[in-house]
């Protein structure tokens, strides 16, 4: 790897607050989110959880990564799936290769077991996006995608899926219809109320089960940030 590539890789690598600062208030909020999701599973088993947002740069991928970490820290075997086949980032976050990933499994160029990679976080595995395809929505809406989820459920306790924003493309709605629950990330001071409503309506139209919303980038007096979760619609 060239020096330039290495520097780019380091720059794009996302910090995991749940791994770097397990006693921080932000980490505690992620654990609260985990608990709320667990309570919402009283009447229905929730194994596949989609994390999305109304628009771009609202923190959905950070939320998905940290939620996966706290789920793994709780002793569950967790698979984090980078299903953002347009702008994938999870391979940067966890410092793994993206030469093979979800697109390879969907197109039958490798099995789930062959392509999944272990991370440095105990109990947490990653299925990166793989090569970016010309037809992301078509791949995600394929029968094979559903079969991948079914196989993942047999191997892992929990599957966390990162997807593109709802308002940008149809990918999130397609995935939401295949998942047991969806978490919508909202950026404080950035996401417009009307956009949140439209995103929620689009998810519900796709028969998604919305577990709740996460308020991201809300400043508190100390200057740090926290996440607030709610399991109510």
- The CATH number covering residue 157 comes to 3.40.50.300
Output phi, psi for 218, to 5 deg: -85, 115
The three-point CA angle 218-221-225 to 5° equals 35
Residue 184 has pLDDT above 80, yes or no: yes
Tokens 């929990």 sit on residue: 158
Residue 218 has pLDDT above 80, yes or no: no
Q: What's the pLDDT tens digit per position in 9-45? A: 433 455 676 665 666 777 888 888 998 898 887 778 8
Q: What's the pLDDT tens digit per position in 106-148? A: 999 999 999 999 999 999 999 999 999 999 999 999 999 999 9
Residue 1 has pLDDT above 50, yes or no: no
CA distance 57 to 165: 9
Instruction: Check residue 15 and give its pLDDT.
Output: 65
Residue 226 has pLDDT above 80, yes or no: no
Q: How confident is the model at residue 80 (pLDDT cuts 50, 70, 90)?
A: very high
CB count within 10 Å of CB 147 equals 13
Contact 183, 51 (CB under 8 A): yes
Q: How confident is the model at residue 217 (pLDDT cuts 50, 70, 90)?
A: confident
User: Which carries the bigger pLDDT value, residue 217 or residue 86?
Assistant: 86
Helix axes 25-39, 60-73, angle to 10 degrees: 80
Element (H, E) at 160: strand 158-162
The whole domain housing 195 covers 3-230
Q: How many domains does the chain have?
A: 1
Residue 216: C-alpha distances to residues 122, 174, 213 (Å): 26, 24, 9
């Amino acid at each position: 790897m060239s020096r330039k590539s290495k520097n780019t890789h380091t720059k794009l690598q996302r910090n995991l607050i749940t791994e770097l600062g397990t006693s921080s208030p932000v980490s505690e909020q992620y654990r609260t989110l985990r608990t709320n999701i667990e309570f919402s599973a009283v009447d229905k088993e929730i194994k596949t959880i989609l994390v999305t947002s109304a628009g771009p740069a609202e923190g959905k991928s950070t939320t998905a990564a940290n939620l996966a970490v706290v789920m793994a820290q709780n002793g569950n075997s967790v698979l984090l799936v980078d299903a953002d086949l347009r702008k994938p980032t999870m391979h940067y976050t966890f410092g793994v290769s993206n030469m093979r990933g979800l697109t390879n499994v969907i197109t039958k160029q490798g099995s789930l077991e062959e392509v999944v990679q272990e991370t440095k976080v105990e109990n947490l595995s990653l299925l990166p996006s793989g090569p970016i395809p010309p037809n992301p929505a078509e791949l995600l809406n394929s029968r094979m995608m559903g079969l991948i989820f079914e196989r993942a459920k047999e191997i892992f306790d929990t599957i966390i899926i990162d997807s593109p924003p709802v308002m940008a493309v149809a990918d999130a709605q397609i995935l939401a219809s295949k998942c047991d629950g969806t978490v919508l990330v909202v950026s404080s001071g950035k996401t417009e109320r009307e956009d949140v409503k439209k995103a929620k309506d689009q998810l519900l139209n796709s028969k998604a089960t919305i577990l709740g919303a996460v308020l991201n980038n809300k400043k508190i007096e100390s200057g740090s940030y926290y996440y607030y979760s709610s399991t109510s619609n």
